Amino acid sequence: MSKPQPHIIQEGSKQYSLGELKGSELIYDFDKMLVYLNAKGKLLFGETFKTFEEDRDILFKLCNYFIGDEANCKKFGIDVKKGILLSGPVGCGKTSLMKLLRHIVPHQKPYKIIPARNIVFGFNHVGYKTLEDYGNGHYFCFDDLGVEPIGRHYGKDCNVMGEIILSRHDLFLEYHIKTHATTNLNAQELEKRYGNRVRSRMRELFNLIAFDKGSGDKRK
């Protein structure tokens, strides 16, 4: 039985190589990864999808994080043990990249991408069980963190995502379970939204990778 080759990805009848094996070491090739990401992006999001040259640095950081290249990540101040908090203006492509990048590491446990507002709507409907559902051992990426409404169940208000982040922080410390998120907010806005205690936990939970403030809306 042949060994699995994590750098060879089959999409339909086409095969993509993301690098090459040199002895027992896998050497990834960033340009080959971009070729695959563009092809996979078209399959996921339609023929108009493309990666942008202006996002090359962000993509390079994210690719190195996902493949676990500790040497390159160290240069960028990225801790491969933590999750990713991908921030940037509305429409810059945060959600699409988080949906896309998990496909370059098919051998790793995938994470589910859940809009934060949907979690709050779930809390409003079923209550505190929602906090348990997302404070467990599954892998999640919380999308659009910080713009969700305050939760309310039977007249009681709850900062739902703040509570979930505290639970995810405990999971990270005890079981090394990662959490990812995307946000349009900056550090000060996140602290205002969730408070200093949650913001402090977020620093331990996430690597912050940020798009340039001037990144345009790619959905236009």
Confidence class for position 5, pLDDT limits 50, 70, 90: confident
Q: Determine what percent of the chain is predicted with pLDDT higher than 70.
A: 96
pLDDT tens digits, one per residue of 79-92: 999 999 999 999 89
Q: What CATH superfamily is the domain 8-210?
A: P-loop containing nucleotide triphosphate hydrolases (3.40.50.300)
Report whether pLDDT(1) > 50. Answer: no
Nearest in space to 182 (alpha carbons), one of 133, 147, 213: 147
Q: With cut-offs at 50, 70 and 90, classify the pLDDT of residue 3.
A: low
Domain segments of the chain as ranges: 8-210
CB within 8 A of 177, min separation 6: which ones?
Answer: 137, 139, 168, 171
Q: How far apart are CA 79 and CA 28, in angstroms?
A: 19
Q: How many CA atoms lie within 13 A of 49 on its CB side?
A: 19
Q: Could you tell me if 102 and 110 are in contact, meaning their C-beta atoms sit under 8 angstroms apart? A: yes
pLDDT digits (tens, 9 = 90+) for 181-210: 999 999 899 999 999 999 999 999 999 999
CA distance linking residue 185 with residue 144, whole number of Å: 9
Count Cα neighbours of 137 within 13 Å in the Cβ-side half-sphere.
4
List the structure tokens of 129: 């069980």
